[in-house]
Amino acid sequence: MRRFGAVTRAVAWRSIHNTVVSPAILVPSIVFPLFFLIAFAGGLSRISDLPNFHYRPGYTAFQFVFVFLQSAAFGGVFTGFAVARDFDSGFARRLLLSAPRRSGIIAGYAVGALGRWLITGTVVTVAALIAGMNVDGDGVQLVGLLGLGIAMNLAAALWACGVAMFLRTEQAGALIQMPVFVLLFLAPVYVPLSLLTGWIHDIANINPVTAVLEAGRGLLAGTPVKVAVAFVGLAIAASLLTVFARRGLASAERAG
């Protein structure tokens, strides 16, 4: 267990250090969610005037929850890019040789993803508060929202690590990113589920991200809904993706 912890700490420290000291890595992961927040909350705020659009804290808060959870997911995705880059550069192979407990590598990258997202999440939250976002939830509910973000980040990081370790090339970037992107945007991003129509409503209805998004919006508004469903869904996803990432690591080990 001590060796697992040592590997986790070392990989996480390197991942966070690389993020913090390299503007080329840090800036896009901060700037993209900010752009989405500005574009959606600013450009689409008229949507809140639609009949049957009822979200008490307002459209900025409605969009903030999406951007907050999206930045969590993309914190994991960007870590997958780093894993792929480590394989391309040969660093990951040296890491596999030197790590006494290799499962600590996955845990280290996951902790690194969390560290990276905590920076982005803080910036996005401060930006939303500056933009006048209303927060109606109490302290416990806001911790719940943070918990949803952490769980989302973990699930995305495990997915990204798994794909990057299976494919071991930076060209895996699109495959890491696209499913997460599509899954997020097939949820009720711009309007509540009840205002969606047609095929997007049917898909959003069965999309697990919808429950997470609705739970997050409920927590921020101080009227929790589907919180248990969201946490259970994320826990199941994280468990399955842990197995997936572990198999990816085994594949990398076999490849040598």
Partner 1 sequence: MRRLSRRRRRAVEDGGGVAAEVSFGPAAAAAPHAAASVTQQTIALAKRAIKRTVRQRALMIFPMIFPLILFAINGSALSAATRIPRFPTHNYRDFLIAMPFVQGAMFVSISAGVDLARDIETGFLNRLALTPLRPEALLIGQLGGALVLGVLQAIVYLLVGLATGVTFASGVGGALVLLVLSIAIAFAFASLGGLLALRFGTGEAVQGIFPLLFVTLFLSSSSLPRNLIKATWFREVATYNPVSYLLEGLRSLVITGWNAQALELGFGFTLALLVIALALSRAAMNTRLARK
Binding site for partner 1 (CB under 8 A): 24, 28, 31-32, 35-36, 38-39, 42-47, 49-51, 174, 182, 185-186, 188-191, 195-200
Q: Rounded distance, CA 255 to CA 239, Å?
A: 25
8 A C-beta contact, residue 193 and residue 113: no
Least distance in Å: CB of 241 to partner 1?
23
CB-nearer residue toward partner 1: 205 or 239: 205
CB-nearer residue toward partner 1: 31 or 240: 31
CB-nearer residue toward partner 1: 32 or 231: 32
Q: Which long-range contacts (CB under 8 A, 24 or more apart) does 129-135 make?
A: 131/37, 131/41, 131/42, 131/60, 132/60, 133/57, 133/58, 133/60, 133/61, 133/64, 134/56, 134/57, 134/58, 134/60, 134/61, 135/57, 135/61, 135/220
CB-nearer residue toward partner 1: 105 or 204: 204
DSSP secondary structure letters along 34-69: HHHHIIIIIHTGGGGGSTT---TT-HHHHHHHHHHH
Least distance in Å: CB of 76 to partner 1?
19
Query: Which residue intervals of the chain are DSSP H helices?
Result: 2-21, 23-37, 43, 59-89, 91-98, 103-130, 139-167, 173-185, 199-206, 208-221, 227-255
CB-nearer residue toward partner 1: 24 or 97: 24
CB-nearer residue toward partner 1: 188 or 216: 188
Least distance in Å: CB of 129 to partner 1?
16
Least distance in Å: CB of 84 to partner 1?
16
Least distance in Å: CB of 201 to partner 1?
8
Q: Is residue 138 classed exposed, middle or buried when 0-12, 13-18 and 19+ CB atoms within 10 A define those classes?
A: exposed
Least distance in Å: CB of 138 to partner 1?
28
